[in-house]
């Protein structure tokens, strides 16, 4: 692999990691604060992408479509919270897993019925459509840089809200001991609603941002959900910092593994068997990393403080 290819793959890995972070942050936030395991987080990501397809198509403007898609994702999140999730806060994880699993089946099918089973796409917005020239004539798409920037921006905003604001203080307190926060006079139900809606919007944002570079299709959320799980297990459940570190590790390992495993194995294997083994190994690589991390640190790399 040449240096220029390595740089491009590193950027790809970074961009994939940022995307995973946006999904995993919402997932781990909801879990950390509400002790709620939301499998439907992946289909909320998918909905974000489909809403972007619709609204960008309707308005003809990427930015306007994105804003409308986020608003719609937020409304949907509130509707789910009202109809299903709020009845599950007190239940055990098994009930939460099952109910949100039912939602996945419904929403995957509903998306197929509304938008069809064929993959859709969103055009890359005009003002981000070019390439950025890196050193020595290496080109990298502007939109992917924008995605990395937007993800870092959202990450910084999230960090600021959670660590520096009053709401964030209540969130962290609620994550450690919800009944105590409630006893101090905070409306914990409202707090949960806000966290949940915000988490849904984060997933929707990730989906909408991914729409121009990935194909938008039913089931696209399921793959991302599993990867987001790996991310938060590696990073430490309930921890935003952990989600960030975990997402970058998973994004880079997965991308670099896929691009270099073949070459690596060819050093000591026949090309045909290297290709077959490489394909199998590279899809399993992040799970192997996860197993290794857990073997050494069962709590993840950066576990949230105050949780037992």
Partner 1 sequence: MSAVTTPSMAARPAAPTVRWLAPLAILGLLALLPLATALGLPSHWLTLVTRAMIFAIAALSLDLILGIGGLVSFGHAAFIGIGAYGAGILITEGQTELLVALPVILIVCGIFAAVTGYVSLRTRGVAFIMITLAFGQMAFYFAQALSGYGGDDGLTLNEKSTLLGREIFANRTGFYYIALGTLAFCYWLARRLVASRFGRVLRAARENAVRVTVTGYDVDHVRLGAYVISGMMAGVSGFLLANQTDFVSPAFMSWQRSGELIFMVVLGGVGSLYGAIVGAIALLAVEDVLSGLTQNWKAIFGPLIVLFVLFTRGGIAGLMAKLRGSRDG
CB of 130 to partner 1, least distance (A): 35
Candidates 55-63, 166-174, 256-264, 275-283: pick the segment binding partner 1 (CB under 8 A): 275-283
User: Residue 133: enclosing H or E segment and its boundaries?
Assistant: strand 131-134
CB of 306 to partner 1, least distance (A): 16
**From 82, 101, 127, 160, residue interacting with partner 1 (rule: CB under 8 A):** 101
**From 58, 106, 118, 156, residue interacting with partner 1 (rule: CB under 8 A):** 106
**From 16, 21, 31, 205, residue interacting with partner 1 (rule: CB under 8 A):** 31
Three-state SS at 138: strand
**Alpha carbons 42 and 66: distance in angstroms, whole number:** 18
CB of 19 to partner 1, least distance (A): 18
Sign of CA dihedral 164, 166, 169, 175: negative
Could you say whether residue 284 binds partner 1 (CB under 8 A)?
Answer: yes
Give the residue carrying structure tokens 């949100």. 100
**From 196, 198, 229, 244, residue interacting with partner 1 (rule: CB under 8 A):** 229
**From 187, 189, 280, 305, residue interacting with partner 1 (rule: CB under 8 A):** 280
> Is the distance from CB of 255 to CB of 12 less than 8 angstroms?
yes
**From 71, 74, 84, 301, residue interacting with partner 1 (rule: CB under 8 A):** 84
Beta bridge partners of 134: 138
CB of 9 to partner 1, least distance (A): 20
CB of 17 to partner 1, least distance (A): 17
**Alpha carbons 276 and 280: distance in angstroms, whole number:** 7
Three-state SS at 134: strand
Ordered alpha helix ranges (H), the chain: 3-34, 41-59, 62-83, 93-115, 142-164, 166-176, 178-183, 188-210, 220-235, 240-266, 271-296
**From 3, 57, 63, 87, residue interacting with partner 1 (rule: CB under 8 A):** 87
Nearer to partner 1, 55 or 244 (CB): 244
Could you say whether residue 196 binds partner 1 (CB under 8 A)?
Answer: no
- Rounded to 5 degrees, what are φ and ψ at 247? -65, -40
Could you say whether residue 233 binds partner 1 (CB under 8 A)?
Answer: yes
Could you say whether residue 249 binds partner 1 (CB under 8 A)?
Answer: no
> Is the distance from CB of 222 to CB of 290 less than 8 angstroms?
no
> Is the distance from CB of 250 to CB of 226 less than 8 angstroms?
no
Q: Which residues contribute to the site for partner 1 (CB under 8 A)?
A: 31, 37, 84, 87-88, 91, 93-95, 97-99, 101-110, 112-113, 222, 226, 229-230, 232-233, 237, 276, 279-280, 283-284, 287-288, 290-291, 294-295, 298, 300
């Amino acid at each position: 692999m040449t240096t220029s290819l390595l740089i491009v793959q590193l950027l790809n890995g970074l961009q994939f990691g940022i995307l995973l972070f946006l999904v995993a942050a919402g997932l781990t936030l909801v879990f950390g604060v509400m002790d709620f395991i939301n499998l439907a987080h992946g289909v909320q990501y998918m909905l974000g992408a489909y809403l972007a397809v619709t609204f960008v198509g309707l308005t003809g403007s990427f930015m306007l479509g994105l804003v409308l898609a986020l608003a719609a994702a937020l409304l949907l999140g509130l509707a789910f919270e009202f109809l299903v999730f709020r009845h599950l806060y007190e239940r055990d994880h098994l009930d939460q897993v099952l109910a949100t699993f039912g939602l996945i089946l419904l929403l995957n099918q509903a998306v197929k019925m509304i938008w069809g089973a064929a993959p859709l796409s969103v055009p890359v917005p005009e003002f981000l459509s070019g390439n950025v020239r890196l050193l020595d004539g290496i080109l990298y798409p502007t939109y992917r840089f924008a995605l990395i920037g937007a993800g870092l921006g959202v990450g910084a905003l999230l960090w600021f809200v959670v660590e520096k604001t009053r709401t964030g203080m209540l969130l962290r307190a609620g994550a450690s001991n919800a009944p105590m926060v409630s006893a101090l006079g905070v409306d914990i139900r409202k707090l949960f609603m806000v966290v949940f809606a915000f988490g849904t919007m984060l997933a929707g944002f990730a989906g909408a941002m991914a729409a121009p570079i990935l194909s938008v299709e039913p089931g696209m959320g399921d793959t991302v959900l599993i990867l987001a799980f790996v991310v938060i297990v590696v990073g430490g459940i309930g921890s935003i910092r952990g989600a960030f570190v975990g997402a970058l590790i998973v994004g880079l390992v997965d991308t670099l593994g896929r691009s270099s495993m073949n070459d690596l194995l060819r050093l000591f294997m026949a090309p045909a068997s290297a290709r077959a083994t490489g394909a199998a190994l590279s899809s399993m690589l992040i799970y192997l990393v996860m197993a290794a991390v857990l073997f050494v640190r069962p709590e993840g790399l950066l576990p949230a403080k105050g949780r037992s």
